[in-house]
């Protein structure tokens, strides 16, 4: 299986949508909640979450990467400078651990029908590679700390083991929780 990761530029928007919202539901997640406030969604997309998401792909730093397996879009990772992700930059629950201008992973999605095939590791590696190519000094993630089964409705946040597998280390904790599980700050220095 040939795997390739690309930033979600305007020409790859439909591939991104195929992963996160294959039925193109207007109210379904477009991975905007951390990046845009309601007024910004209205301003960018005229009330359309899909249009607002498309507009994000036009920025200097697109909002993430898509992983392709044999040219089929199979996974998405929302990654960008922490400073450019308003809900994270202003969070009182997930505070910066230091002054490093980190990039942050805030969502990981593997498309239905492609899960449990080992795609998360190359997806995260591709996201880290993208951040490194853009000059990021480090990448952070905020997974849950769990020793057992995780509520799958919160799977997008990832687990400690998932990020340790690709070289991230715990550098702190947060005051945030997901499904009553504590969240960590994990970092991979580039």
Please give the model's pTM, rounded to 2 decimal places: 0.91
d(CA 145, CA 157): 10
- For residue 149, pLDDT beyond 60: no
Task: List pLDDT tens digits, range 60-99.
Answer: 999 999 999 999 999 999 999 999 999 899 999 999 999 9
Q: What are phi and psi of 96, to 5 degrees?
A: -60, 145
Task: List pLDDT tens digits, range 101-114.
Answer: 999 999 999 998 99
Task: List pLDDT tens digits, range 153-186.
Answer: 444 567 888 899 999 999 999 888 776 777 899 9
pLDDT on residue 154: 40
pLDDT on residue 148: 53
pLDDT on residue 156: 59
For residue 144, the 8-state DSSP code is B
Q: Are 74 and 119 in contact (CB under 8 A)?
A: yes
Task: List pLDDT tens digits, range 19-38.
Answer: 999 999 888 888 888 888 88
pLDDT on residue 187: 98
Please say whether the structural domain 3-189 has been given the CATH code 3.90.1150.110: no
Q: Are 187 and 105 in contact (CB under 8 A)?
A: no
């Amino acid at each position: 299986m040939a795997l390739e990761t690309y930033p979600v530029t305007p020409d790859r928007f439909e591939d991104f949508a195929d992963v996160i919202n294959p039925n193109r539901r207007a109210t379904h997640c477009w991975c905007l909640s951390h990046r845009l406030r309601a007024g910004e969604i209205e301003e960018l997309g005229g009330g359309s979450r899909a249009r607002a998401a498309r507009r994000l792909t036009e920025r200097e730093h697109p909002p993430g990467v898509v992983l392709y397996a044999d040219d089929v879009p199979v996974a998405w990772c929302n990654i960008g400078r922490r400073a450019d992700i308003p809900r994270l930059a202003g969070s009182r629950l997930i505070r910066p651990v230091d002054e490093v201008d980190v990039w942050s992973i805030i969502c990981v999605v593997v498309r239905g029908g492609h899960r449990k095939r080992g795609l998360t590791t190359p997806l995260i590696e591709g996201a880290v590679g993208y951040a490194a190519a853009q000059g990021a000094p480090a990448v952070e993630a905020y997974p849950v700390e769990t020793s057992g089964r995780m509520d799958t409705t919160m799977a997008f946040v990832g687990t400690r083991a998932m990020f340790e597998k690709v070289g991230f280390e715990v550098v702190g904790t947060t005051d945030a929780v997901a499904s009553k599980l504590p969240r960590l700050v994990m970092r991979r220095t580039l």
